[in-house]
Amino acid sequence: MTRRAVFVYGANDRHFQSGRMFHLRHALDAAAADRPDVAVGTIPYRFTNQVLPVAAAYSLRYGAAILSDRRAADGYVYHGFGFSDAYHDACLGAAIDGVPDGAVILSGCQNIGRRARAAVRRKGLRVFFYIDATVRDLVYLGPRVRAAILEAEAESYRLAAGFFVYHEGVAASLRRDYGVDPPAITVVGKGVPANAEEVRAARAVPRVSGTSLTLMTVGTHPRRKGVLRLIEAIDRLPADRRARLRYVVAGPARRELPTRDYLAPLGFLGADQRAHLLALMRRADLGVLLSEWEGLPGSIYEFLALGTPCWMSDLPDLGGLTTRPGVIAEPLPLDPARLSGRLAGLLDDRAALGGLRAAAEAHWDGLGWQPVAARVLDTVLADHVEGKRG
């Protein structure tokens, strides 16, 4: 019996893109457990310190400070190295000769690099992309690299056998901006970016009830994630109300946030602090994400999987996330005065907050990766699925 090889590109990294390929790989293992004709493997991302000569050459070419922590004024990194041909030639391209002819590659990045594109043609490989956005949506890319990465993305997409996307908004962008045939696109959503053991352990963390309100946001970029907007809303509250409120922020460097008595900046928490982060998310009264653009936010999935209710922007194309039990959807555009009023109401009505938590806990098992993996596996193994190549 011939086994069909399916390689998940980037499945070794549980941080980039909220670790979606890491979690998809584990779910695919389970989905393929009763499929002796399928072999699932990993092609790893390589970290910057493993490809220093490549990173240095890219930095010289584009004037990009890859190896520093320098950020633009809005908090975004502009160099785009992780989307470039140079990076993916050093990762996927370096491993591509070991991939058997006719194999399937699942890429979580919008580009596979020059070497892999040549191998797709030479070896008859079938590449599927699983993405939360197109490069055109990544407004934080700097102008010097944007054109090159857009060109590489388009060349990679022309070789695609198909696309898996988070929501209809991404599908619409592929159809409109890249000319992808609708049958080549499958909307699959995503699962919670945490494994089952982590979730079970965090759910067992005891909660402490009281009269104060603990809010929490998890995300790297304080401006895009709405952290600064929420701080502005909290500042509008009277001092006695602010004294009953605590805002925990995980992700941004402490220097990127203002100093406030109610603010608890944690900085970036690495893999060795994963259990601590999930415990904090479980203890929070409310997970908050007041952004104006998202794919499918991994932190909201984590909060809800832990039974923590959420307050988030009522963004389009979120696949019903804002209507799930335990979620408060905040209308756009966001208004600081209205946000302050919402906070005052939450402080005054603990019973309503308890009802939100009960609703979230009653539905906390509905966000797993298994349906996503099953749909992906069925699609990549079907012979008739073919993306637009011209």
Domains of the chain: 4-191+369-380 (3.40.50.2000), 196-362 (3.40.50.2000)
State the CB neighbour count (10 A cutoff) for residue 87: 24
What pLDDT score does 316 carry? 85
Sign, Cα dihedral of 32, 26, 362, 226:
negative
What pLDDT score does 383 carry? 55
| 194 CA to centre of own chain | 12
Identify whether the C-beta of residue 330 lies closer than 8 Å to the C-beta of residue 311: yes
Cβ-based neighbours of 9, under 8 Å, separated by 6 or more: 21, 42, 43, 45, 91, 92, 105, 106, 107, 108, 109, 112
What pLDDT score does 194 carry? 86
Helix, strand, coil shares of the chain as percentages rounded to 5? 45, 15, 40
Q: Residue 91 to residues 46, 50, 258, 286: CA-CA distances in angstroms? A: 6, 10, 38, 39
What pLDDT score does 75 carry? 42
What pLDDT score does 48 carry? 83
Identify whether the C-beta of residue 164 lies closer than 8 Å to the C-beta of residue 132: no
Cβ-based neighbours of 335, under 8 Å, separated by 6 or more: none
Whole-angstrom distance, CA of residue 70 vs CA of residue 167: 32
Whole-angstrom distance, CA of residue 310 vs CA of residue 327: 5
Look up the pTM and report it.
0.87
Positions in the chain short of pLDDT 70: 1, 63-78, 139-140, 383-390
DSSP assignment of 194-208:
S-HHHHHHHHTSPP-
Identify whether the C-beta of residue 199 lies closer than 8 Å to the C-beta of residue 178: no
pLDDT 10s digits, 275-290: 999 999 999 999 999 9
Spell out a b/e string for 211-249, using b for 16 or more CB atoms within 10 Å of the CB, else e. eebbbbbbbbbbbbbbbbbbbebbeebeeebbeebbbbb
Whole-angstrom distance, CA of residue 47 vs CA of residue 298: 22
What pLDDT score does 167 carry? 92
Cross-strand pairs, 327: 310
What pLDDT score does 184 carry? 97
Place of tokens 């393929």: 32
What pLDDT score does 207 carry? 86
Write down the H helix ranges in the chain. Answer: 20-31, 52-62, 85-90, 92-95, 114-123, 143-158, 168-178, 196-203, 227-235, 239-242, 274-283, 298-305, 336-348, 350-362, 370-380
First-to-final CA distance of the chain? 34
